[in-house]
Amino acid sequence: MTKGKGKKGKGKSWAPAVERIRPIISGLRERYPDVKCALDHTSALELLVATILSAQCTDVRVNIVTRTLFQKYRSAADYAAADPTVFEQEIRSTGFFRNKTKSVLGMARAVVERGGQVPDTMEELVTLPGVGRKTANVLLGTWFRKNEGVVVDTHVTRIARRLKLTRQSDAVKIEKDLMKLVPRKDWTDFSHMVIHHGRQICDARRPKCEVCPINRLCPSSAA
């Protein structure tokens, strides 16, 4: 590789994404060896509720809210029977609390109607209110240990584009690109590592390229 004088990778010759992906994964794994889902949970239902609440909200805030929520609501039936007005106030600090209330309580009612157990397939999960591919992938990969896809949130979107692993902006299309590049056995860990990387180093406004473990592999690096 030949270094140029410009910033953000200008003047450099970059290997194709398919050649960079394995060293990218290795670099992230070395930096985040014990990576895991940042949402506190002890069951599939708790993780599902927490993931729905995490939309447009930090995991830290969600964990504060669910600390009390999970003590009160212990089954899908408990959520299904909840008073929406009360529940809205219980999750208010996570933002978009009215829509999230509809999603959580609607999801719970659907789970109760289907026997009370959270399903473990993508096909079934995405039919639940408030559950899309991203949420389903979190649940399948983290709780059920099934690599059915790659979680694509704002961090994964930003970093995948900065690394030139995709040119897409749509989450579903980005996921398809990443699934072609990342070995299936790494799909879940890759998502967690990239999300952690986005929070700690590859910030949206001021990425810390100088301390990034994969800056030599990143076409957007200013280091």
What percent of the chain has a predicted confidence (pLDDT) above 90?
92
Residue indicated by tokens 């993508």: 122
| Domains of the chain from N-terminus onward | 17-34+148-217 (1.10.1670.10), 44-142 (1.10.340.30)
Task: Report whether pLDDT(115) > 90.
Answer: yes
List the catalytic residues: 134, 153
Burial of 68 (0-12, 13-18, 19+ CB in 10 A): exposed
Please state the rounded mean pLDDT for residues 157-161. 98
Please state the rounded mean pLDDT for residues 147-173. 96
Task: Report whether pLDDT(6) > 70.
Answer: no
Task: Report whether pLDDT(210) > 60.
Answer: yes
Mean pLDDT of the chain: 94
- pTM for this model (two decimals): 0.89
Task: Report whether pLDDT(10) > 60.
Answer: no
First-to-last C-alpha distance (Å) of the chain: 15
Residues 79 and 108 sit within 8 Å (Cβ to Cβ): yes
Q: In Å, how far are 77, 84, 93 from 81, measured between CA atoms?
A: 6, 9, 21
When pLDDT is cut at 50, 70 and 90, the band that residue 71 belongs to is: very high
**Per-residue pLDDT, 38:** 93
Please state the rounded mean pLDDT for residues 161-175. 97
Please state the rounded mean pLDDT for residues 106-116. 97
Task: Report whether pLDDT(2) > 90.
Answer: no
What percent of the chain has a predicted confidence (pLDDT) above 70?
95
**Per-residue pLDDT, 68:** 97
Please state the rounded mean pLDDT for residues 179-208. 96
DSSP 60-74: HHHHHHHHHHHHH--
The 10s digit of each residue's pLDDT in 27-53 is 999 999 998 999 999 999 999 999 999
